[in-house]
Amino acid sequence: MSTRPYIRDFSNPQADLDGKSILITGGTGSFGKAFVETIISRYRPKRVVIFSRDELKQTDMEHNLTSGDLSSRSGCLRFFIGDVRDADRLKMAMRGIDCVIHAAALKHVPVAEYNPFECIKTNVFGAENVVNAAIETNVRNVLALSTDKAASPINLYGASKLASDKIFVAANNLSGGTDTRFSVVRYGNVVGSRGSVVPFFQKLIDENAESLPITDARMTRFWITLQQGVDFVLSSFAMMNGGETFIPKIPSMSMTEVGSAMAPDLAQHIVGIRPGEKLHEVMVSSDDARNTVELSDRYIIEPAFKWRTTDDLRQKDAVPVAEDFTYSSDANAEWLDAGGLQEMLDQ
Protein backbone atom coordinates (compact mmCIF):
# COMPACT_ATOMS: atom_id res chain seq x y z
CA MET A 1 0.00 0.00 0.00
CA SER A 2 1.40 3.36 -1.01
CA THR A 3 1.87 6.02 1.68
CA ARG A 4 0.75 8.59 -0.88
CA PRO A 5 -2.83 8.43 -2.20
CA TYR A 6 -1.82 9.65 -5.67
CA ILE A 7 0.47 6.64 -6.22
CA ARG A 8 -2.46 4.41 -7.06
CA ASP A 9 -2.98 0.70 -7.34
CA PHE A 10 -4.42 0.11 -10.83
CA SER A 11 -4.73 -3.68 -10.51
CA ASN A 12 -8.55 -3.69 -10.37
CA PRO A 13 -10.64 -4.79 -12.13
CA GLN A 14 -8.78 -7.98 -12.92
CA ALA A 15 -8.56 -9.14 -16.53
CA ASP A 16 -9.62 -12.71 -17.29
CA LEU A 17 -6.61 -14.17 -19.13
CA ASP A 18 -6.69 -17.76 -17.89
CA GLY A 19 -6.72 -20.11 -20.85
CA LYS A 20 -6.30 -17.24 -23.32
CA SER A 21 -3.75 -16.87 -26.11
CA ILE A 22 -2.14 -13.43 -25.91
CA LEU A 23 0.20 -11.64 -28.31
CA ILE A 24 2.21 -8.54 -27.47
CA THR A 25 3.90 -6.54 -30.20
CA GLY A 26 7.14 -4.89 -29.13
CA GLY A 27 7.24 -7.60 -26.50
CA THR A 28 10.96 -7.28 -25.71
CA GLY A 29 10.74 -3.61 -24.65
CA SER A 30 10.59 -2.40 -21.05
CA PHE A 31 6.80 -2.61 -20.95
CA GLY A 32 6.66 -5.91 -22.84
CA LYS A 33 9.02 -7.69 -20.47
CA ALA A 34 7.19 -6.42 -17.37
CA PHE A 35 3.82 -7.29 -18.93
CA VAL A 36 4.86 -10.84 -19.79
CA GLU A 37 6.34 -11.45 -16.33
CA THR A 38 3.14 -10.14 -14.73
CA ILE A 39 0.67 -12.22 -16.73
CA ILE A 40 2.56 -15.51 -16.40
CA SER A 41 2.90 -14.96 -12.65
CA ARG A 42 -0.77 -13.98 -12.10
CA TYR A 43 -2.61 -16.03 -14.70
CA ARG A 44 -2.56 -19.36 -16.49
CA PRO A 45 -2.57 -18.27 -20.14
CA LYS A 46 -2.69 -20.92 -22.85
CA ARG A 47 -0.05 -19.14 -24.93
CA VAL A 48 1.90 -15.87 -24.76
CA VAL A 49 3.46 -14.75 -28.04
CA ILE A 50 6.29 -12.18 -27.82
CA PHE A 51 6.37 -10.49 -31.23
CA SER A 52 9.40 -8.30 -31.94
CA ARG A 53 12.15 -7.79 -34.51
CA ASP A 54 15.25 -8.03 -32.27
CA GLU A 55 16.58 -11.58 -32.04
CA LEU A 56 19.15 -10.72 -29.36
CA LYS A 57 16.53 -9.21 -27.05
CA GLN A 58 14.29 -12.22 -27.64
CA THR A 59 17.11 -14.63 -26.84
CA ASP A 60 18.02 -12.75 -23.66
CA MET A 61 14.38 -12.51 -22.57
CA GLU A 62 13.78 -16.21 -23.22
CA HIS A 63 16.89 -17.15 -21.24
CA ASN A 64 15.92 -14.92 -18.29
CA LEU A 65 12.35 -16.22 -18.12
CA THR A 66 13.13 -19.90 -18.63
CA SER A 67 15.99 -19.98 -16.12
CA GLY A 68 14.71 -17.57 -13.46
CA ASP A 69 12.04 -17.59 -10.75
CA LEU A 70 9.26 -17.87 -13.34
CA SER A 71 10.78 -20.84 -15.18
CA SER A 72 7.95 -23.15 -14.08
CA ARG A 73 5.44 -20.78 -15.72
CA SER A 74 7.40 -20.20 -18.94
CA GLY A 75 6.12 -23.19 -20.92
CA CYS A 76 3.41 -21.03 -22.51
CA LEU A 77 5.89 -18.56 -24.03
CA ARG A 78 6.43 -18.35 -27.79
CA PHE A 79 9.02 -16.01 -29.32
CA PHE A 80 8.06 -14.78 -32.78
CA ILE A 81 10.48 -12.70 -34.86
CA GLY A 82 8.60 -10.12 -36.88
CA ASP A 83 7.98 -6.45 -37.57
CA VAL A 84 4.64 -4.66 -37.42
CA ARG A 85 5.53 -3.24 -40.84
CA ASP A 86 5.13 -6.78 -42.23
CA ALA A 87 1.39 -7.38 -42.59
CA ASP A 88 1.69 -11.03 -43.63
CA ARG A 89 3.94 -11.88 -40.70
CA LEU A 90 1.47 -10.26 -38.29
CA LYS A 91 -1.41 -12.30 -39.70
CA MET A 92 0.60 -15.48 -39.27
CA ALA A 93 1.49 -14.57 -35.68
CA MET A 94 -2.13 -13.75 -34.76
CA ARG A 95 -3.63 -17.06 -35.83
CA GLY A 96 -5.46 -18.51 -32.81
CA ILE A 97 -4.81 -15.40 -30.69
CA ASP A 98 -7.57 -14.11 -28.38
CA CYS A 99 -6.00 -10.85 -27.14
CA VAL A 100 -3.41 -8.43 -28.54
CA ILE A 101 -1.46 -5.75 -26.68
CA HIS A 102 0.13 -3.40 -29.23
CA ALA A 103 3.26 -1.90 -27.65
CA ALA A 104 5.57 -1.71 -30.70
CA ALA A 105 6.55 1.84 -31.68
CA LEU A 106 9.41 4.17 -32.49
CA LYS A 107 9.29 6.36 -29.38
CA HIS A 108 12.34 8.65 -29.24
CA VAL A 109 11.19 12.19 -30.02
CA PRO A 110 14.39 13.63 -31.60
CA VAL A 111 15.01 10.39 -33.55
CA ALA A 112 11.50 10.57 -34.98
CA GLU A 113 12.04 14.21 -35.96
CA TYR A 114 15.22 13.24 -37.83
CA ASN A 115 13.81 10.02 -39.35
CA PRO A 116 10.18 10.87 -40.14
CA PHE A 117 9.55 8.18 -42.77
CA GLU A 118 10.70 5.41 -40.42
CA CYS A 119 8.48 6.74 -37.65
CA ILE A 120 5.42 6.77 -39.91
CA LYS A 121 6.10 3.26 -41.25
CA THR A 122 6.17 1.76 -37.77
CA ASN A 123 3.72 3.89 -35.80
CA VAL A 124 1.03 4.54 -38.43
CA PHE A 125 1.33 1.86 -41.09
CA GLY A 126 2.18 -0.65 -38.36
CA ALA A 127 -1.06 0.26 -36.55
CA GLU A 128 -3.02 -0.32 -39.76
CA ASN A 129 -1.37 -3.72 -40.15
CA VAL A 130 -2.25 -4.71 -36.58
CA VAL A 131 -5.88 -3.73 -37.14
CA ASN A 132 -6.20 -5.64 -40.41
CA ALA A 133 -4.44 -8.73 -39.05
CA ALA A 134 -6.62 -8.76 -35.91
CA ILE A 135 -9.85 -8.52 -37.93
CA GLU A 136 -8.78 -11.19 -40.44
CA THR A 137 -7.76 -13.64 -37.70
CA ASN A 138 -10.80 -12.93 -35.46
CA VAL A 139 -8.84 -11.66 -32.46
CA ARG A 140 -11.33 -10.75 -29.74
CA ASN A 141 -9.69 -7.73 -28.06
CA VAL A 142 -6.89 -5.37 -29.09
CA LEU A 143 -5.53 -2.75 -26.70
CA ALA A 144 -3.00 -0.28 -28.13
CA LEU A 145 -0.49 1.64 -26.00
CA SER A 146 -0.34 5.37 -26.69
CA THR A 147 1.42 8.32 -25.07
CA ASP A 148 0.67 11.70 -23.53
CA LYS A 149 2.45 13.18 -26.55
CA ALA A 150 -0.49 12.12 -28.76
CA ALA A 151 -2.76 14.78 -27.21
CA SER A 152 -2.35 18.15 -28.96
CA PRO A 153 0.91 16.91 -30.56
CA ILE A 154 3.71 19.22 -31.69
CA ASN A 155 6.25 16.52 -32.60
CA LEU A 156 6.15 13.75 -35.19
CA TYR A 157 6.17 10.99 -32.61
CA GLY A 158 3.08 12.45 -30.93
CA ALA A 159 1.38 13.08 -34.29
CA SER A 160 2.09 9.53 -35.43
CA LYS A 161 0.67 8.13 -32.20
CA LEU A 162 -2.41 10.34 -32.52
CA ALA A 163 -2.91 8.90 -36.01
CA SER A 164 -2.42 5.42 -34.53
CA ASP A 165 -4.99 6.12 -31.80
CA LYS A 166 -7.49 7.30 -34.40
CA ILE A 167 -6.87 4.14 -36.43
CA PHE A 168 -7.57 1.88 -33.45
CA VAL A 169 -10.69 3.75 -32.36
CA ALA A 170 -12.09 3.84 -35.91
CA ALA A 171 -11.24 0.15 -36.38
CA ASN A 172 -14.38 -0.66 -34.41
CA ASN A 173 -16.31 0.63 -37.43
CA LEU A 174 -14.40 -1.75 -39.70
CA SER A 175 -14.71 -5.02 -37.80
CA GLY A 176 -18.15 -5.65 -39.33
CA GLY A 177 -19.78 -8.87 -38.21
CA THR A 178 -16.73 -9.99 -36.22
CA ASP A 179 -16.42 -9.62 -32.47
CA THR A 180 -13.04 -7.84 -32.65
CA ARG A 181 -12.89 -4.75 -30.43
CA PHE A 182 -10.16 -2.10 -30.23
CA SER A 183 -9.30 0.40 -27.47
CA VAL A 184 -6.36 2.60 -26.45
CA VAL A 185 -4.39 3.28 -23.25
CA ARG A 186 -2.60 6.63 -22.88
CA TYR A 187 -0.20 7.44 -20.04
CA GLY A 188 2.89 9.51 -19.20
CA ASN A 189 6.59 8.97 -18.57
CA VAL A 190 7.55 5.64 -17.04
CA VAL A 191 9.95 6.06 -14.12
CA GLY A 192 13.16 4.15 -14.75
CA SER A 193 12.32 2.84 -18.24
CA ARG A 194 14.78 3.00 -21.12
CA GLY A 195 14.79 6.55 -22.45
CA SER A 196 13.55 8.03 -19.17
CA VAL A 197 15.46 10.91 -17.65
CA VAL A 198 15.75 9.08 -14.32
CA PRO A 199 18.32 6.43 -15.36
CA PHE A 200 20.14 9.13 -17.36
CA PHE A 201 20.42 11.33 -14.27
CA GLN A 202 21.46 8.32 -12.19
CA LYS A 203 24.24 7.51 -14.65
CA LEU A 204 25.56 11.07 -14.39
CA ILE A 205 25.36 10.96 -10.60
CA ASP A 206 27.26 7.65 -10.50
CA GLU A 207 29.92 9.17 -12.76
CA ASN A 208 30.36 12.09 -10.35
CA ALA A 209 29.12 14.70 -12.81
CA GLU A 210 29.47 18.30 -11.70
CA SER A 211 25.89 19.19 -12.65
CA LEU A 212 22.71 17.77 -14.17
CA PRO A 213 21.44 19.00 -17.58
CA ILE A 214 17.88 20.41 -17.51
CA THR A 215 16.14 21.19 -20.78
CA ASP A 216 13.97 23.96 -19.33
CA ALA A 217 13.35 25.00 -15.73
CA ARG A 218 9.59 25.21 -16.38
CA MET A 219 9.21 21.71 -17.87
CA THR A 220 6.78 19.27 -16.19
CA ARG A 221 5.83 15.67 -16.91
CA PHE A 222 3.35 13.01 -15.76
CA TRP A 223 4.96 10.04 -13.98
CA ILE A 224 3.95 6.39 -13.63
CA THR A 225 5.85 3.28 -12.60
CA LEU A 226 6.33 0.39 -15.00
CA GLN A 227 4.22 -1.93 -12.84
CA GLN A 228 1.48 0.68 -12.58
CA GLY A 229 1.50 0.88 -16.38
CA VAL A 230 1.15 -2.90 -16.68
CA ASP A 231 -1.64 -3.00 -14.08
CA PHE A 232 -3.44 -0.10 -15.76
CA VAL A 233 -3.33 -1.88 -19.12
CA LEU A 234 -4.67 -5.08 -17.59
CA SER A 235 -7.50 -3.32 -15.74
CA SER A 236 -8.40 -1.30 -18.86
CA PHE A 237 -8.41 -4.54 -20.80
CA ALA A 238 -11.03 -5.87 -18.37
CA MET A 239 -13.17 -2.71 -18.81
CA MET A 240 -12.97 -2.14 -22.56
CA ASN A 241 -16.06 -2.28 -24.74
CA GLY A 242 -14.34 -0.89 -27.83
CA GLY A 243 -13.32 2.63 -28.83
CA GLU A 244 -12.34 4.01 -25.42
CA THR A 245 -9.09 5.79 -24.61
CA PHE A 246 -8.16 5.02 -20.99
CA ILE A 247 -6.04 7.56 -19.10
CA PRO A 248 -4.75 7.01 -15.53
CA LYS A 249 -4.79 9.64 -12.82
CA ILE A 250 -1.08 10.01 -12.06
CA PRO A 251 1.08 12.73 -10.46
CA SER A 252 3.23 15.41 -12.10
CA MET A 253 6.74 16.58 -11.29
CA SER A 254 8.99 19.21 -12.82
CA MET A 255 12.36 18.30 -14.30
CA THR A 256 14.17 20.55 -11.84
CA GLU A 257 12.43 18.79 -8.93
CA VAL A 258 13.37 15.39 -10.36
CA GLY A 259 17.01 16.48 -10.46
CA SER A 260 16.88 17.96 -6.96
CA ALA A 261 15.20 14.85 -5.55
CA MET A 262 17.83 12.54 -7.02
CA ALA A 263 20.84 14.75 -6.26
CA PRO A 264 19.94 17.55 -3.82
CA ASP A 265 23.55 18.79 -3.59
CA LEU A 266 24.26 18.75 -7.32
CA ALA A 267 24.02 21.89 -9.48
CA GLN A 268 21.82 22.05 -12.57
CA HIS A 269 22.42 23.71 -15.92
CA ILE A 270 19.95 24.57 -18.68
CA VAL A 271 20.64 22.95 -22.07
CA GLY A 272 17.49 23.95 -23.98
CA ILE A 273 14.51 22.05 -25.31
CA ARG A 274 15.29 19.32 -27.86
CA PRO A 275 13.58 19.24 -31.27
CA GLY A 276 9.91 18.37 -30.88
CA GLU A 277 9.74 18.64 -27.09
CA LYS A 278 6.93 20.33 -25.15
CA LEU A 279 7.18 22.27 -21.91
CA HIS A 280 4.17 20.40 -20.53
CA GLU A 281 2.25 17.30 -21.57
CA VAL A 282 -1.50 16.92 -22.02
CA MET A 283 -3.48 13.70 -21.73
CA VAL A 284 -7.01 15.09 -22.11
CA SER A 285 -7.39 18.24 -24.21
CA SER A 286 -10.29 20.66 -23.87
CA ASP A 287 -11.62 19.44 -27.21
CA ASP A 288 -11.70 15.86 -25.88
CA ALA A 289 -13.53 16.93 -22.72
CA ARG A 290 -17.00 16.71 -24.28
CA ASN A 291 -16.48 12.95 -24.74
CA THR A 292 -14.61 12.31 -21.47
CA VAL A 293 -15.92 10.67 -18.32
CA GLU A 294 -14.21 10.25 -14.95
CA LEU A 295 -13.78 7.36 -12.55
CA SER A 296 -11.95 7.42 -9.22
CA ASP A 297 -8.64 6.33 -10.74
CA ARG A 298 -8.88 7.23 -14.45
CA TYR A 299 -10.41 9.28 -17.24
CA ILE A 300 -12.00 7.64 -20.27
CA ILE A 301 -12.37 9.40 -23.61
CA GLU A 302 -15.35 7.75 -25.24
CA PRO A 303 -15.50 7.48 -29.05
CA ALA A 304 -17.15 10.34 -30.90
CA PHE A 305 -18.65 7.88 -33.39
CA LYS A 306 -21.11 5.66 -31.58
CA TRP A 307 -21.35 2.30 -33.39
CA ARG A 308 -22.84 0.88 -30.20
CA THR A 309 -25.44 2.40 -27.91
CA THR A 310 -24.41 4.87 -25.23
CA ASP A 311 -25.42 2.38 -22.53
CA ASP A 312 -23.10 -0.23 -24.03
CA LEU A 313 -20.18 2.17 -23.92
CA ARG A 314 -20.78 3.84 -20.59
CA GLN A 315 -18.70 2.66 -17.63
CA LYS A 316 -20.54 2.09 -14.38
CA ASP A 317 -20.22 5.02 -11.94
CA ALA A 318 -18.47 7.21 -14.54
CA VAL A 319 -19.42 10.90 -14.58
CA PRO A 320 -18.80 13.44 -17.37
CA VAL A 321 -16.04 15.99 -16.83
CA ALA A 322 -16.64 19.74 -17.19
CA GLU A 323 -16.79 21.05 -20.76
CA ASP A 324 -13.68 23.19 -20.25
CA PHE A 325 -11.73 20.38 -18.55
CA THR A 326 -8.10 19.66 -19.48
CA TYR A 327 -5.68 17.19 -17.94
CA SER A 328 -2.17 18.57 -18.29
CA SER A 329 1.06 18.03 -16.37
CA ASP A 330 1.40 21.68 -15.33
CA ALA A 331 -2.19 22.04 -14.04
CA ASN A 332 -2.38 18.68 -12.30
CA ALA A 333 -3.93 18.47 -8.84
CA GLU A 334 -1.42 15.81 -7.76
CA TRP A 335 2.32 16.49 -7.50
CA LEU A 336 5.25 14.27 -6.61
CA ASP A 337 7.71 15.32 -3.95
CA ALA A 338 11.14 13.78 -3.38
CA GLY A 339 9.69 11.09 -1.13
CA GLY A 340 7.03 10.24 -3.69
CA LEU A 341 9.59 9.90 -6.46
CA GLN A 342 11.71 7.62 -4.28
CA GLU A 343 8.64 5.54 -3.49
CA MET A 344 7.97 5.10 -7.20
CA LEU A 345 11.62 4.19 -7.83
CA ASP A 346 11.49 1.64 -5.01
CA GLN A 347 8.43 0.05 -6.63
Q: How far is CA 133 from CA 91, 95, 209, 210, 325, in A?
A: 5, 9, 49, 51, 36
**Catalytic residue check, 149:** yes
Q: ∠ CA 11-321-282 to the nearest 5 degrees?
A: 70
Beta strands in the chain (DSSP E): 21-25, 47-52, 77-81, 99-102, 141-145, 181-185, 189-190, 211-214, 220-224, 245-248, 252-254, 267-270, 282-284, 292-294, 298-301, 319-320, 327-328
C-beta of residue 187 within 8 angstroms of C-beta of residue 248 = yes
- The angle at the Cα of 103, spanning 52 to 20, to the nearest 5 degrees, equals 85
Cβ atoms within 10 A of the Cβ of 138, count? 15
Catalytic residue among 20, 33, 107, 149: 149
Note whether 184 and 168 are within 8 A (CB).
Answer: yes
In angstroms, rounded to a whole number, what is the distance separating the alpha carbons of residues 30 and 11? 19
The alpha carbon torsion through 339, 300, 287, 120 (nearest 10 deg) reads 90
User: Beta strand pairing status for 21-25 and 47-52?
Assistant: parallel
Query: Which class for 42: exposed (0-12), middle (13-18), buried (19 or more C-beta within 10 A)?
Result: middle
Before 13, cis peptide (omega within 30)?
yes
Would you name the residues annotated as active-site residues? 149
